[in-house]
Amino acid sequence: MQLNKDGYWKENIKILVSLLSVWFLVSFGFGILLSDWLDQFQLGGFKLGFWFAQQGSIYIFIILIFIYIHLLNKLDKKYFGDKDSGDDN
Amino acid sequence: MDVTTLTYIFVGLSFSLYIGIAFWSKANSTNDFYVAGKGVNPIANGMATAADWMSAASFISMAGLIAFLGKDGSVYLMGWTGGYVVLALLLAPYLRKFGKFTVPDFIGERYYSKAARLVAVICLIFVSFTYVAGQMRGVGIVFSRFLEVDINIGVIIGMIIVFFYAVLGGMKGITYTQVAQYCVLIFAYLVPAIFISILITGNPVPQLGFGDTLVGTDVYLLDKLDQVTRDLGFNAYTENIKSNIDIFCITAALMFGTAGLPHVIVRFFTVPRVKDARKSAGYALIFIAILYTTAPAVAAFARVNFIESIQDTSYESSPAWFKNWENTGLIAWQDKNNDGIIQYSAGSAIEGRPQYTPERGSEGQRLLSNKSNDLNDNEVYIDRDIMVLANPEIAKLPAWVIALVAAGGLAAALSTAAGLLLVISSSISHDLLKKTFKPNISERQELFYARCAAAVAIFIAGLFGIYPPAFVAQVVAFAFGLAASTFFPALFMGIFSKRLNKEGAIAGMVSGLIFTLTYIIYFKFLYTEFNSADYWFLSISPEGIGFVGMIINFIVAISISSITNPPPKEVIEMVEVIREP
């Protein structure tokens, strides 16, 4: 099982790193550091950088968590099968 | 019916609902009391987390802050939502797998040390009490303005309500009242926002309305707002004033602080499985985002409405809300040029908070003993906290909407206060008594102590509300910096590193706490005259310094761990177990 566990953890870390890169990009990137530059583009009545800072980043945060839930459920199944895990009271 | 009667009805109905739920969900065991029997449905837990999380600050203050800060206000929006991504991906599922009752529980066992547990309890009590004080002020504001009762009586009523469901029901009672409170508060937030969005832009969705054109013109709301704010001498609404590095650090401190707040983390201990903890974080963020994406729209509408309804009107014909809030002491008008007309522009009208004299001026306004600030022509003092509460009145919405907002503000304040009081009481009865000083008490006794601790905590929180320390509002923001610089690294490394040992974790938490606290106290309380970017470390404000404290915590923890012994084998095994779903 040791090998199995390591594989699970490595894949988990890979998922975390890629999702958190997007998290960083849309908030600290588009919402803060690149925000002024993005403001030259318009999204309807919003300047794009302003929209990311006050709206867009939040929508993407939600999407990220649901992608994470989906990927981890798949990963759990791959390594641990369908056992109803975690209920260890 | 007038606003006061309607408010009594709405507040009365919502309060009886909360008490009803408290009787229905009485806690019978410590498991019920601390973590609601670990049987909460993930969607219900998502709602409860959202209500727990969205405090008087989110409901009452945030949109007002953003209305006056413009784009700089984005730090709150991104910081207080982005933290949930960190929490969902890096902490919540693993801490649920660990499966105990409190955050100090995890720190105490992962770092195999009573000292680490104690440090965690101290950080927790400090963070939670500063936070709870702000909630009680929110309760006081709502009561004094809308129910026209004394602030102190308002706080006492709030205490009695929280006492009922927190002491009787524990986490179980709190969870199900929070579900009800979420529904009340989100409804109360959205209804006026939708009304105002339709009035100003014709678009019923506030999130879209605030990027839309003003009714009857082809001018975008935000362009108009940029122009108006610039004309009055402010920075343009959609441009930053703060430096990028400061915005970066404040956002980061709020995000990691959110992920490290004990009363939020403990909510994920209440669901049945690891899977549910992940799902619950996702739902929580959806429920939170409904308010957080509406807030910047409310802010923009409020700023436009506020300026248009008072600018260049005579005091005599100024709207009723202006005079009402002046009577509450949160608006003041200093007629600098004695023309009887309200002029509003950039800069502070008076020095400090308004000090009213007993007399009234020639126009009927409350006179001030403050020195007026002659560097600008602004005549209006406004407390940012009132924008959300005053917004429906400013937009001339019907009385029932105004009453609804009052009930919503109370729901937001009470739900958060209850969540905080619970983590305080469980850290005392469980971590201090059961796990440290009196390990022999039975479960019944522990439950009794938990109830006593909750009662005492409510009493102290009430005192904060009645005798608010002057610095409450500021301190709430710092609770995040402290959580980021103490809890987050210890929790994160506890899961993702097998090497971090007790020496490292304790040294890290202590150095993060001392650094952050010293920096804040230095600039905010001791040497306020130096509190500007020229003197700050790397031009990072005290609000953002928690992020630097967090980095210091990481560096100290890792270096100390690398020169001391690795953690024992059982602890490494425990880490392996919590990493599996």
Q: Which helix (H) or strand (E) holds B155?
A: helix B151-201
Interchain CB distance below 8 Å, B89 and A47: no
Contact with chain B for residue A21, Cβ under 8 A: no
- Chain B (23-62) residues lying within 8 Å, Cβ to Cβ, of chain A: 31, 38
* B579 interfacial to chain A (CB closer than 8 Å): yes
Residues 81-110 of B with CB under 8 A from A: 81-82, 84-86, 88-90, 93, 96-97, 99
Name residues 189-208 of chain B within 8 A of A (Cβ).
Answer: 207-208
Q: pLDDT digit string (tens) for B235-258?
A: 888 887 788 888 899 999 999 998
**For residue B40, what are its two tokens?**
């909460």
B3-306+395-579 topology per CATH: Sodium/glucose cotransporter (1.20.1730)
Contact flag B289-A59 (C-beta cutoff 8 Å): yes
Q: Please report residues of B whose CB lies closer than 8 A to that of A87.
A: 272-273
Contacts of B272 in chain A (CB under 8 A): 86-87
Overall residue count recorded for chain B in this entry: 581
Nearest residue of A to residue B84, measured between CA atoms = A61
d(CA B567, CA B578): 16
CB contact, 8 Å: A57 with chain B? Answer: yes
CA distance B161 to B462: 12
- List all residues 6 or more positions away from B567 whose beta carbon is below 8 Å from its beta carbon: B111, B112, B498, B499, B500, B501, B502
Closest chain A residue to B79 measured between Cα atoms?
A27
Give the angle B500-B501-B506 at the CA atoms, nearest 5°.
105
pLDDT of residue B212: 83
In the prediction, which pLDDT does A86 show? 45
How near does any CA of chain B get to the CA of A13, in Å?
10
| A20, A73, A76: residue with CB nearest B89 | A20
Distances (CA, A) of B280 to B34, B89, B200, B271, B286: 18, 12, 36, 8, 10
Contact at 8 Å (CB) between B409 and B389? Answer: yes
pTM of the model: 0.88
Q: Which of A44, A53, A89 sits opposite B74 (nearest CB)?
A: A53
If DSSP codes are grouped into helix, strand and coil, which group holds residue B380?
strand
Lookup: tokens for B521: 């106290």
Best mutation target, A16, A58, A71, to test chain B (most B CBs within 10 A): A58
Domain boundaries of chain B, sorted by first residue: 3-306+395-579, 310-391
Q: In which residue ranges of chain A is pLDDT below 70?
A: 1-3, 82-89
Find the residue in A nearest to B496 (Cα).
Answer: A13
Block means of pLDDT (10 residues each) for chain B, 581 residues, are 83 85 77 74 86 83 85 89 92 86 86 88 83 76 73 80 77 84 89 89 87 82 82 80 86 91 84 85 92 91 85 83 82 84 83 82 82 82 80 82 85 84 82 76 80 85 74 68 91 90 91 89 76 74 88 94 89 86 82
The pLDDT tens digits for B54-113 are: 887 788 888 888 888 888 888 899 999 999 999 999 998 898 888 777 888 889 889 988
Across the interface, of B88, B248, B580, the residue whose CB is closest to A65 is B88
Q: Could A89 and B251 be called an inter-chain contact, meaning their C-beta atoms sit closer than 8 Å? A: no
For an interface test with A, the pick among B30, B71, B270, B573 (most A C-beta atoms closer than 10 Å) comes out as B71
What gap in Å lies between CA B449 and CA B432, rounded to an integer?
11
Query: Which residues does B203 contact at the CB level (< 8 Å), separation at least 6?
Result: B197, B209, B212
| Tokens 């992962």 belong to residue | B110
Which of B74, B96, B285 is nearest residue A65 as measured by Cβ atoms?
B285
Task: Report helix angle B545-562 to B244-260, nearest 10.
Answer: 60
Output phi, psi for B509, to 5 deg.
-60, -45
**A19–B85 C-beta distance less than 8 A:** yes
